[in-house]
Amino acid sequence: MAIRAQPLTLLQWTGAVMAALVFLAITAPLAAVAWRAEETSVLGAADWSAIRFTVSQAAISAFLSVVLAIPVARALARQRFAGRGLVVALMGAPFLLPVIVAILGLLAVFGRNGWVNAGLGLLGLPPLEIYGMHGVVLAHVFFNLPLAVRLLLQGWMSIPSERFRLAVALGFSNANMRQHFEWPLLRMMVPGVFLVIFLICSTSFAVALTLGGGPRATTVELAIYQAFRFDFDLGRAALLGLVQVAICAFAAVAVLGVAVPQVLGAGLDRAPVMWPEAHRHRFIDGAAVLSAALFLMMPMIALGLRGVPALPTLPAVAWEAAGRSVVLSFATAVVAVAMALPLAALIARGRARSILELVGSLSIAVSPLVVGTGLFLLLFPVVNPTLLAIPVTGLVNALAALPFLLRALVPAITEAELTQGRLATALGMRGWPRFRIAILPRLRRPLGFGAGLAAALSMGDLGVIALFSAPSQGTLPLEMYRLMGAYRTDDAQGAALLLLLLSLGIFWLFDRGGRLHAAT
Amino acid sequence: MNQTSIIAAGMTFMAGAAFADLPVLSVYTYDSFTSDWGPGPAIEAAFEQTCECDLQFVGAGDGAALLARIRLEGQRSDADVVLGLDTNLTAAAVDTGLFVPHGLETPGLTLPIAWDDEVFLPFDWGYFAFVHNADMENVPRSFVELAESDARIIIQDPRSSTPGLGLLMWIEAAYGQGAPAIWEGLADNIVTVTPGWSEAYGLFLEGEADMVLSYTTSPAYHLIAEEDASKAAAPFTEGHYLQVEVAGILGSSDQPDLAQDFLRFMLTPDFQQVIPTTNWMYPAALPAEMLPSGFETLIEPDTALLLSPQDAARLRDEALAAWQSALSR
């Protein structure tokens, strides 16, 4: 193909440098931990059972999240209704929540005294027990279904409206639409989305342990906690960190081999038109959106109801922490975009795609505890790690957001290259102007979405370095945990609501910014 | 906003200048000690009034994370004092060779046990206990009764939580060889195991369980801070395991005299009086009549259980294995 013959542009070179930096940022801490280990370690039977549990719960969670997301994303793509924008925006909420907040929200609905059991009790039915493998999967679907919906929706929205017009003119049936648009789209998007969610679930620890009901639900991440805190066996911690890298590599190769870049056709970025015969799917689409919204909103409404009374009396410390978190989240978004854009441009070029995607995914696959410890070991000889806690948190959060940004950007760039890119090349455009004029305008939507995600994720994250080197003036999630740890549960719930509102607001701001021009 | 931050920056600068000539005493502690709700701020102010120094608390996770950090930093650590380990961790801490004897006499300790540790001095203590709502019926009075009951309990994972490890040691101290059988009996009472105390207590307050592993002093928080008498701790006939929180001086300290002064100050009322209503534990050197009102309502176990640091370290791995196998069935 013509693009492949091109030498690397400056942007793509930057991408290569970024890939190297990202790789270093993950592997150097891992190596630092291994370096400090006094003895080497081998995997025992308990480790293998942790690996089995980790992989199986992550695979089930990712599979269900993606499968359930498809009808919801399709419904949101083909129907226009009042409140659609709100539903799409709220889809951003669950995976931005700190784990303990999300668990409390889920328990308010599905717990022993939750709404569901109250309803079952009224009907004279026995109560549901949330603890067990199904509870872990339920929580992971709650976290990741919205993420899958949003990522898939990006794909649907990328179908040019000219194609729709043509389809409408040709009188496409539902089956035609599936064959020509939806199936190719899903083949392109689903493997990557599955991979990201699988990896998120594979480093789960608090959710798996708390809702899993006990040590049966020991994940690799928990085994790392044990190695680090209980045994202070850095060799084991590093080995288990490597196991996570191996799981990630294995999954990436297996899953991304299935993904096929598709050409869905070029367009002139006109306003989207109605899906052919959208009204005929109203019932099924309505049911999909309604049930997803109900499932996702109920826990958040519960959190809202609990948090509101505490908001007015929230201690000043929480508001100050909120301010720091907002600044941090904007900085994180900028850094994340600066890393992701060149890297995505390089990946979209096509060569060494799997390796680069793997590098881009590592940051969510590797234990925050191992990375945090490694960073500590690397920083400590040079500078006081506590002083750097917040900047390091921002950098690590930006790294953690990278896979999401890549998931949104890579398909968009690939498609823009396949459609607009050839014309631009034929016109003799090169380098930055070519990227700015031909490619960048088609990235508004995924960029806005990805930057919003990076910012919001950063709001909710506790920060790896906080695990054992906490800043005295913390971020909002850290202060929320401190409130919880000091028995101040009401204040903590107020802080959690504030966190939820801020994360959503920031996500909405970026996401909306990205869609402004796309909608005209 | 802008003006305030400039003023704030100026104040910080001036404060820095004022402190510039003062020696710095760096105390590593667990995070909740230094938080605005913890004892840290009041203690810092009180010590700095007399010490002619700049006391800096550095927060690091919880007790186990604190020890891990000290081990990672080794001889190069900036810390002078480490405050917040408990006796389940002190044997490992001594083994690092990083700590030196405190060299102080300790006549005024108010622990329920004798204290003769040359390296570590206690600053507070508490009994582990299962906390429940005061209106709970048929409250179990022992581990055996608890195992036989259908009470739902939430505990913490010993691998990631110090109270979780405390429960492991509690049953080990009370039952020894019989501990695995107790765990097997408890398995069907345990609703779930959480990574830390906060999650467990939060779940309990949500009504997910009848009882949660916490401290005998937990009801005091609800009583004193929230004027809510609805929580109680269940007295167990086997006795209650102690958590004794300690501080020690690092050999690498560049302020050994100041560090010793701090440990001496630690056992004076100015430090000890801050503990009950910030850390919600018993102070280690304060007569009972000086405790805040509300503490007299708490249960007082007849038997205090505590394994020696050496025994705790020796029995730990085996106890964990028994715990895991009993709860994994």
Domain membership of residue B174 (yes or no) is: yes
The Cα-based distances of A332 to A48, A246, A367, A453, A454 in angstroms read 36, 27, 20, 10, 7
Residues of chain B with pLDDT > 90, as a percent, come to 82
Q: Do A484 and B221 touch (CB under 8 A)?
A: no
A26 DSSP β-pair partners: none
Locate the chain A residue with the closest alpha carbon to B220.
A487
Interface of B with A in 247-306 (CB under 8 A): 280
- In this complex, the residue of B60, B159, B208 whose CB is nearest that of residue A470 is B60
Q: What is the CATH number of the domain that holds B200?
A: 3.40.190.10
Could you tell me which of B307, B260, B61 has the C-alpha nearest to residue A463?
A: B61
Distance between CA atoms of A247 and A269, rounded to whole angstroms?
40
Name the DSSP letter for residue B52: S
Interface of A with B in 243-272 (CB under 8 A): none
Tell me, yes or no, if B71 comes closer than 8 A to chain A by beta carbon: yes
Task: List chain A pLDDT tens, one digit each, 520 residues.
Answer: 444 445 667 777 888 888 888 888 888 888 888 888 777 778 888 889 899 999 999 999 999 999 999 999 989 988 888 888 888 877 777 877 878 888 889 999 999 888 999 999 888 888 888 898 999 999 999 999 998 998 888 778 777 777 777 877 887 777 887 777 788 888 888 888 899 899 989 988 888 888 988 888 889 988 988 888 888 888 888 899 889 989 988 888 887 776 665 555 556 555 566 666 677 788 888 899 999 999 998 998 998 998 999 898 899 889 999 999 999 899 999 999 998 988 888 888 776 777 777 787 888 888 878 888 888 888 888 887 777 777 888 888 888 888 888 888 887 888 787 777 777 888 887 777 787 887 888 888 889 888 988 888 888 777 665 666 667 778 888 888 889 888 988 899 999 999 988 988 888 888 887 766 544 3
Residues B30, B56 share a domain: yes
Could you tell me which of B32, B255, B208, B73 has the C-alpha nearest to residue A135?
A: B208
Residues B157, B233 share a domain: yes
- In this complex, the residue of A228, A468, A487 whose CB is nearest that of residue B221 is A487
Tell me, yes or no, if A110 comes closer than 8 A to chain B by beta carbon: no
Residues B103, B215 share a domain: no
User: Which of B193, B197, B217, B315 is the mutation pick for testing A, counting most A CBs within 10 A?
Assistant: B193
Domain membership of residue B183 (yes or no) is: yes
Interface of A with B in 126-155 (CB under 8 A): 131
Structure tokens that stand for A346 in this block: 């390089």
Q: For domain A2-516, which CATH number applies: 1.10.3720.10, 3.40.50.1220, 3.40.50.300, 3.55.50.30?
A: 1.10.3720.10
Quote the pLDDT of residue B43.
96
Residues B172, B69 share a domain: no
Residues B155, B117 share a domain: no
B58 DSSP β-pair partners: B28
ipTM of this complex: 0.86
| Chain B residues with CB-CB distance to A384 below 8 A | 78
Look at chain B and report how many structural domains it folds into.
2
Q: Do B327 and A211 touch (CB under 8 A)?
A: no
- In this complex, the residue of B72, B190, B197 whose CB is nearest that of residue A377 is B72
Residues B208, B79 share a domain: no
Burial environment of residue B109 by CB neighbours within 10 A (0 to 12, 13 to 18, 19 or more): middle
Pairing of strands B120-133, B240-250: antiparallel
Name the DSSP letter for residue A438: I
Contact indicator for A512, A358 with CB cutoff of 8 Å: no
DSSP for B242-254, written as a single string: EEEEEEEEETT-S
- In this complex, the residue of B31, B61, B71 whose CB is nearest that of residue A232 is B71
Domain membership of residue B292 (yes or no) is: no
CA torsion through residues B19, B20, B24, B26, sign: positive
Higher pLDDT, A440 or B180: B180
Domain membership of residue B20 (yes or no) is: yes
Contact indicator for A204, A214 with CB cutoff of 8 Å: no
Tell me, yes or no, if B224 comes closer than 8 A to chain A by beta carbon: no
| Chain A residues with CB-CB distance to B76 below 8 A | 380-381
Residues B247, B220 share a domain: no
Distance between CA atoms of B184 and A483, rounded to whole angstroms?
34
Distance between CA atoms of A342 and A63, rounded to whole angstroms?
30
Tell me, yes or no, if A113 comes closer than 8 A to chain B by beta carbon: yes
> For B202-216, what is the mean pLDDT?
95
Quote the pLDDT of residue B10.
46
Residues B188, B52 share a domain: no
Tell me, yes or no, if A226 comes closer than 8 A to chain B by beta carbon: yes
Distance between CA atoms of B106 and B244, rounded to whole angstroms?
15
Interface of A with B in 162-191 (CB under 8 A): none
Residue B293 falls in which region: left (phi positive, over 0), alpha (psi -120 to 50) or beta? beta
Domain membership of residue B11 (yes or no) is: no
Q: Do A232 and B197 touch (CB under 8 A)?
A: no
Residues B202, B146 share a domain: yes
* pLDDT tier at B179, thresholds 50, 70, 90: very high
Which residue type, as a one-letter code, is found at position B107? P
Distance between CA atoms of B62 and B59, rounded to whole angstroms?
8
Contact indicator for A193, A407 with CB cutoff of 8 Å: yes
Structure tokens that stand for A136 in this block: 């872990």
Quote the pLDDT of residue B148.
96
Residues 6+ apart with CB under 8 A from B73: A380, B79
User: Which of B36, B86, B131, B318 is the mutation pick for testing A, counting most A CBs within 10 A?
Assistant: B36
Q: Do A470 and B218 touch (CB under 8 A)?
A: no
Work out how many CB contacts closer than 8 A connect A with B.
152
Locate the chain B residue with the closest alpha carbon to A376.
B72
Domain membership of residue B10 (yes or no) is: no
Distance between CA atoms of A243 and A219, rounded to whole angstroms?
12
Could you tell me which of B211, B228, B210 has the C-alpha nearest to residue B219?
A: B228
| Chain B residues with CB-CB distance to A113 below 8 A | 206-208
Contact indicator for A489, A421 with CB cutoff of 8 Å: no
Quote the pLDDT of residue B244.
96
Tell me, yes or no, if A278 comes closer than 8 A to chain B by beta carbon: no
Between CA B27 and CA B37, with CA B32 as vertex, the angle to 5 degrees is: 110
Residues B104, B209 share a domain: no
Q: Do B157 and A209 touch (CB under 8 A)?
A: yes
User: Which of B29, B31, B227, B320 is the mutation pick for testing A, counting most A CBs within 10 A?
Assistant: B31
Which helix (H) or strand (E) segment holds residue B54: the answer is strand B54-59
pTM: 0.87
Domain membership of residue B8 (yes or no) is: no
Residues B149, B119 share a domain: no
Q: Do B207 and A113 touch (CB under 8 A)?
A: yes
B283 DSSP β-pair partners: B124
Quote the pLDDT of residue B180.
95
B54 DSSP β-pair partners: B24
The Cα-based distances of B153 to A63, B189, B192 in angstroms read 33, 6, 8
Q: Which domain holds residue B45?
A: 16-125+243-286
Domain membership of residue B67 (yes or no) is: yes
Is the pLDDT confidence value at B13 over 70? no
Quote the pLDDT of residue B46.
96
User: Which of B27, B37, B162 is the mutation pick for testing A, counting most A CBs within 10 A?
Assistant: B37
User: Which of B5, B69, B184, B198 is the mutation pick for testing A, counting most A CBs within 10 A?
Assistant: B198
Q: Do B208 and A485 touch (CB under 8 A)?
A: no
DSSP for B274-309, written as a single string: TSTTTT-SEESS--GGGSPTTGGGS---S-EE---H
